[in-house]
């Protein structure tokens, strides 16, 4: 459905030097591309601006759980086509066991995950947005929001290293990633009581045959002390592995242990014959933050909504963010479209309420979990006594990766209610 043009705004030019749109999306990662895709499919006039040009690299584990697969399917991407590596579940390495946990079979979700480099995946998603009708601006950096009488009414955008120009829009969607400097300039802040992860990854060419599982290690030791983090290996295809490690700021050692050090320890833990050595490394080691559990406040200001990492919409159990970036973008796109079509701006501003309705309870449980595993004793006991119990671990996988059918009253539902009741919320 086409939306009426913005009232009172100067008419934009039809070519690439436009000065207005119904919606300006800042950042074309999964969140921005998904928002632009869903808005354009509704006939909304949308500019998708990114300071980079695509394809571009993004530090990530490159892994999509079944939830992530569903999210990209919702953008018309076929995750079975060439380039995607299929993943059948999670393999967990503990001190005494190695456990294969296939994805649960659920009605609402596919039964497989995938791996695809962000270099390729993000490009694919941007192309989907453009095909749906969004106008893409590459090498276009939104330097500051434009605020008029308390409303964000556009942004100052610098294109191709030229002068910054004013772009007016009825809504601005900040999808500018974990640092989110753009939204910061509008007054959005990180909530320091909510968890933050940091992680590092590097690609390795390995002689080891590629499996069809996400592999993770939770018992990384250094000098007899268990480190407060985890390591992963994800199969990228063509003999390349994405090898990474991360940790949470809920641990008291957060300031002493960098993700690079975690990755170093992890690489030294791995068998020599897997070949995770400098000579087999492809590209640089990169690291980045994971803003979790909706740790940005507020998630919306008049005229501005925060999507994906910009809003801290990352699973606090796992650090999975791609699925949540796309899901939050879809919610925002629906609300903004409804607000534009019915000329009821209040609809768009119910976005934080809608996100809390969807994720509030789950993220509350996730934050409690993040605080608990920041405690070295809890972590050690979980690894020692939890890992050998397969049924418990299958349940843990469903909870951690948010893979449930969401039925009221089932076991997952009851356990989450119980944890929310006993978890002191911060």
Ligand X SMILES: Cc1cc2nc3c(=O)[nH]c(=O)nc-3n(C[C@H](O)[C@H](O)[C@H](O)COP(=O)(O)OP(=O)(O)OC[C@H]3O[C@@H](n4cnc5c(N)ncnc54)[C@H](O)[C@@H]3O)c2cc1C
Cβ(367)–Cβ(210) under 8 Å? no
Instruction: State the minimum distance, in angstroms, from the CB of residue 414 to ligand X.
Output: 27
Of the pair 164, 384, the CB lying nearest ligand X is at 164
Q: What is the closest distance, in whole angstroms, from the C-beta atom of residue 61 to ligand X in the complex?
A: 3
Q: Taking the complex as a whole, how short is the minimal distance between the CB of residue 260 and ligand X, in angstroms?
A: 11
Query: Nearer Cβ to ligand X, position 39 or 49?
Result: 49
Give the residues lining the site for ligand X (CB under 6 A). 26-32, 49-52, 58-63, 68, 141-142, 175-178, 182, 199, 201, 244, 288, 290, 308-310, 314, 319-323, 325
Smallest gap from Cβ 222 to ligand X, in A, equals 20
Question: For the purposes of burial, counting CB atoms within 10 Å of the CB of 377, is it exposed (0-12), middle (13-18) or buried (19 or more)?
Answer: exposed
CB-closest chain residue to ligand X: 321
**Which residue, 3 or 197, has its beta carbon nearer to ligand X?**
197
CB of 123 to ligand X, least distance (A): 11
Which is closer to ligand X, CB of 120 or CB of 413?
120
The minimum distance between CB 146 and ligand X, in angstroms, equals: 13
Least Cβ distance, residue 155 to ligand X (angstroms)? 8
Name the residue nearer to ligand X (CB basis): 3 or 203: 203
Minimum separation from the CB atom of position 424 to ligand X (A): 27
**Closer CB to ligand X, 110 or 319, in the complex:** 319
Nearer to ligand X, 313 or 379 (CB): 313
SS3 letters for the chain?
A: CCCCCCCCCCCCCCCCCCCEEEEEEECCCHHHHHHHHHHHHCCCCEEEECCCCCCCCCCCCCEECHHHHHHHHCCCCCCCCCCCEEECEEEEECCCCEEEEECCCCCCCCCCEEECCHHHHHHHHHHHHHHHCCEEECCEEEEEEEEECCEEEEEEEEECCCCEEEEEEEEEEECCCCCCHHHHHCCCEECCCCCEEEEEEEEEECCCCCCCEEEEECCCEECCEECCEEEEEEEEECCEEEEEEEEECCCCCCCCCCHHHHHHHHHHHCCHHHCCCHHHEEEEEEEEEEECCCCEECCEECCEEECHHHHCCCCCCCCCCHHHHHHHHHHHHHHHHHHHHHCCHHHHCCHHHHHHHHHHHHHHHHHHHHHHHCCHHHHHHHHHHHCCCHHHHHHHHHHHCCCCCCCCCCHHHHHHHHHHHHCCCC
Nearer to ligand X, 141 or 215 (CB): 141
Nearer to ligand X, 285 or 341 (CB): 285
Q: Taking the complex as a whole, how short is the minimal distance between the CB of residue 235 and ligand X, in angstroms?
A: 12
């Amino acid at each position: 459905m086409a939306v009426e043009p913005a009232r009172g705004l100067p008419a934009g030019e039809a070519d690439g030097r436009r000065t207005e749109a119904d919606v300006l999306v800042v950042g074309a990662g999964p969140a921005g591309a998904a928002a632009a895709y869903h808005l354009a499919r509704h006939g909304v006039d949308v500019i998708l601006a990114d300071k980079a040009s695509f394809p571009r690299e993004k530090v990530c584990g490159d892994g999509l759980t079944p939830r992530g697969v569903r999210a990209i399917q919702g953008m018309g991407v076929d995750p079975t086509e060439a380039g995607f590596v299929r993943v059948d579940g999670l393999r967990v390495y503990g001190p005494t066991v190695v456990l294969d946990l296939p994805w649960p079979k659920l009605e609402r979700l596919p039964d497989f995950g995938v791996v695809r480099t962000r270099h390729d995946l993000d490009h694919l998603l941007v192309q989907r947005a453009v095909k749906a009708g969004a106008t893409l601006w590459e090498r276009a950096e939104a330097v500051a929001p434009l605020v008029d009488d308390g409303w964000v009414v556009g942004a100052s955008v610098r294109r191709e290293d030229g002068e910054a120009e004013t772009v007016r829009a009825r809504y601005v969607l900040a999808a500018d990633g974990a640092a989110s400097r753009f939204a910061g300039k509008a007054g959005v802040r990180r909530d320091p009581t909510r968890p933050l992860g940091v992680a590092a990854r590097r690609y390795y060419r390995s002689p080891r045959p590629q499996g069809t599982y996400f592999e993770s290690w939770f018992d990384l030791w250094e000098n007899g002390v268990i480190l407060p983090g985890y390591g992963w290996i994800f199969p990228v295809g063509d003999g390349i592995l994405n090898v990474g490690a991360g940790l949470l700021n809920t641990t008291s050692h957060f300031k002493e242990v960098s993700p690079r050090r975690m990755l170093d320890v992890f690489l030294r833990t791995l068998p020599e014959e897997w070949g995770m050595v400098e000579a087999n490394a492809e590209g640089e080691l990169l690291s980045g933050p994971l803003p979790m559990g909706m740790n940005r406040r507020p998630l919306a200001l008049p005229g501005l909504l925060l999507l994906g990492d910009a809003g801290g919409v990352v699973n606090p159990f796992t650090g999975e963010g791609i699925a949540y970036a796309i899901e939050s973008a879809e919610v925002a796109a629906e609300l903004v479209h409804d607000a534009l079509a019915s000329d009821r701006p209040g609809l768009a501003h119910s976005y934080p309420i809608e996100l809390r309705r969807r994720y509030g309870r789950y993220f509350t449980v996730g934050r409690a979990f993040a605080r608990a595993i920041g405690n070295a004793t809890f972590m050690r006991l979980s690894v020692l006594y939890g890992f050998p119990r397969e049924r418990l671990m299958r349940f843990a996988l469903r909870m951690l990766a948010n893979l449930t059918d969401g039925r009221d009253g089932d076991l997952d539902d009851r356990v989450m209610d119980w944890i929310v009741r006993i978890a002191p919320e911060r």
